[in-house]
Structure 1
Amino acid sequence: MAFNEDGSKMTYRESLQNILKEGQLADALGIDIFALGEHHREEYSISSPEIMLAALASSTSRIKLSTAVTVLSSDDPVRIYERFATLDGISNGRAQIMLGRGSFTESFPLFGYDLEKYTKLFDEKLALFNELITKDKVTWSGEETQNLANQTVYPRIEKHQLPVFIGIGGTPESVLRTARYNYAMMIAIIGGEAIRFEPYIELYKNATEEYGTQVHQIGVHSHGIITETDQEAYDIGWKYIKQSMDKVGRDRGWPEMTQKRYDFEVGQGAYYVGSVETVAQKIAQTTSELGIDRFDLVYGTGGQLEKTRLETIKLYATKVIPRVKEILVKAGD
């Protein structure tokens, strides 16, 4: 959720309406993908990203519409398939899905799932979801899921297979799982230098060879703010990113973010905060060093003012993305 100019919180209705406007702006400016996360916490307004994406499907024309992520462990794979098949039909083939276990756990007790089965739930539900998107008729017997007997789920996804990403938080097991199921990989880098994830990318590529699957798109997702000057972006990030991370830290027993830590993340780490040139150079460096195909900028961390969110989208689309492409082309000459 964002804040108003006077420091008051927006209502959930206002926040949701603004996110629709942001997605429409991203589409109009030529950004490739608009991805929305699923959260069940006070500071987030989106608990049902597919509904938001469906609304955007009817008011955009070209942008791909994805989740980031869908918390598979606390949902029903059959219902997820049905919702995304519906979204895919409404958007004329622009739907994508990113599956994960989620960085928060509020959905587990909310929907009656045992956190002690955190890994088992995801493993079994991912296996069932894979059956649903690769077969027309599914026979399935599960411990944490329903049984299906030669069942077809409707509506069907027509003409192509739904693009599936797995959100990776940083465990080798998640990378191997992604390769085994022949899915694309999105690495959530929310702290530290991006280059430390290079071994995970190599593991993914090597694992696809062993499993006989394909190397699909590999992406990185990190926090960012873009303004006209480095100092302005730095100050906004110090206020809002710190605010968000400190709140998460209180829940998890982490220390508050220090200015030294923030400076590291902005300079060398996972925050893409600064002017157009600063952010473009850093994205280009990450893209080149890791050999990734996609970079997702998480642009609204901490409930920033709507004008900051819109400015970040505009500068990202019109200046940063073209500049990143220019840097990478020159580097390849």
Structure 2
Amino acid sequence: MEIGLSTFVETTPDVKSGKVMSHAQRIREVVEEIVLADQVGLDVFGVGEHHREDYAASAPAVILAAAASQTKRIRLTSAVTVLSSDDPVRVFQDFATLDAISNGRAEIMAGRGSFIESFPLFGYDLKDYDELYDEKLDLLLKIRESEKVTWSGKHRPVIHNRGVYPRPVQDPLPVWIGSGGTPDSVVRAGLLGLPLVLAIIGGRPLQFAPLVRLYKQAAEQAGHDVSKLTVASHSHGFVGETTEAAADQFFPSTQYAMNKLGRERGWGQYDRASFDFARSFEEALYVGDPQTVAEKIIYLRKNVGITRFMLHCPVGTMPHEDVMKSIELLGKEVAPRVREEVARWEIEQN
């Protein structure tokens, strides 16, 4: 069972002062967070790609590369790469370079993205949303399979027997499929035999169990070894010294960020009652003291089949020292509890 973190490198206004930190400051903070995550024994850190004012990470591979030379063990991944609006050749080159700097710790999470700003920015039409992803994923996988590539498609110029360099340390370079929880996306991942990442950010995580089963059924039908498949979840959360303190620290910035997105997307008002309900045991918000958060992750492993858990923290802008303390608690107190219990449970299952 792997435990890690993800961030979108948000720069929303401070809920107390109203001030907005610079993108540069927040990026430097994230590098410090990745270094600390490595030091406290966490397994993976993901940085998500966005192209808007309130998110600083338009180039996750660059941020991860800055942390790569300062870390030793932690795996470094996008969370996600918006593959539909990117060039698979450049994506592969960027992450193969990251793989070299980190000596084999890079991963790509390939997703469509729930934000659409990158499409007009890079000249793509949203009516091609699904077609772009299918085509570009096909090219990315061909590049990782072979040094020389011949490929043709509708939305990118033809490639005639061209080499793509550098080649990564890992062979093959890990590519995960990011999914918001649609049957089509999990079936695609299963048929390709690729690891799956589920964004479990609302509702009951237990509702994702049928999707995990569907993923494994598709993989088995395609002839892949189901025992080797890995399934990750990405969920909002925060670890504090006590559960109530964690909730009080995490709520203000989360409320601001959720209501900002809610106004854009037509969601209802996000209030403290909504927040408190979402952090109850069977819901998808992982906020609490180390024991509370560990128990929820263990429940996810036993009942949904998740083999990697990524805590998304912060949501909105929180004080850097609060985020660092949460990372420390996750690595030193939550992760050991989870690993010990999951290892014991797996022995019992076998």
Same fold at TM > 0.5 = yes
Note closer, same or farther for the CA distance 1:238–1:218 as it changes in structure 2 (3 Å cut). Answer: same
**AA of the residue aligned to 1:304:** M
Q: Deviations over 1:165-201 (max 9, x none)?
A: 1111011110111122221001001101101001111
The offset of 1:326, in angstroms, is 2.9
Q: How does 1:298-317 map to 2 (within 5 A)?
A: 298-317=312-331
- Corresponding residue for 2:275? 262
Coordinate RMSD, CA, aligned:
1.5
Q: Deviations over 1:187-219 (max 9, x none)?
A: 001101101001111011110111122432111
- Are residues 1:19 and 2:30 paired? yes
Asked if structure 2 preserves the Cα contact closer than 8 Å seen for 1:281 and 1:327, the reply is: no
- Corresponding residue for 1:167? 178
Asked if structure 1 preserves the Cα contact closer than 8 Å seen for 2:51 and 2:117, the reply is: yes
- Are residues 1:276 and 2:326 paired? no
TM, length-normalised to structure 2: 0.91
- Corresponding residue for 1:72? 83
Asked if structure 2 preserves the Cα contact closer than 8 Å seen for 1:192 and 1:265, the reply is: yes
- Are residues 1:253 and 2:253 paired? no
Asked if structure 2 preserves the Cα contact closer than 8 Å seen for 1:35 and 1:65, the reply is: yes
**AA of the residue aligned to 1:303:** T
Runs of 4+ in 1 over 6 A off after TM superposition: none
Question: In 1, distance between residues paired with 2:168 and 2:324?
Answer: 33
Asked if structure 2 preserves the Cα contact closer than 8 Å seen for 1:130 and 1:181, the reply is: no
- Corresponding residue for 1:230? 243
TM, length-normalised to structure 1: 0.96
Q: Which has the higher contact order (CA 8 A, sep 6+)?
A: 2
- Are residues 1:289 and 2:303 paired? yes
Question: In 2, distance between residues paired with 1:269 and 1:257?
Answer: 15
**AA of the residue aligned to 2:125:** D
- Corresponding residue for 1:108? 119
**AA of the residue aligned to 1:109:** P
Unpaired runs of at least 5, structure 1:
none
**AA of the residue aligned to 1:156:** R
**AA of the residue aligned to 1:319:** E
The offset of 1:154, in angstroms, is 1.1
Identity %: 45
The offset of 1:331, in angstroms, is 4.2
Question: In 2, distance between residues paired with 1:236 and 1:283?
Answer: 20
- Are residues 1:62 and 2:76 paired? no
Question: In 2, distance between residues paired with 1:300 and 1:212?
Answer: 39
Q: Deviations over 1:258-284 (max 9, x none)?
A: 333222210031110011111111111
Unpaired runs of at least 5, structure 2:
1-9
- Are residues 1:136 and 2:147 paired? yes
Question: In 1, distance between residues paired with 2:43 and 2:234?
Answer: 14
- Corresponding residue for 2:101? 90
Q: Number of residue pairs matched?
A: 333
Asked if structure 2 preserves the Cα contact closer than 8 Å seen for 1:53 and 1:66, the reply is: yes
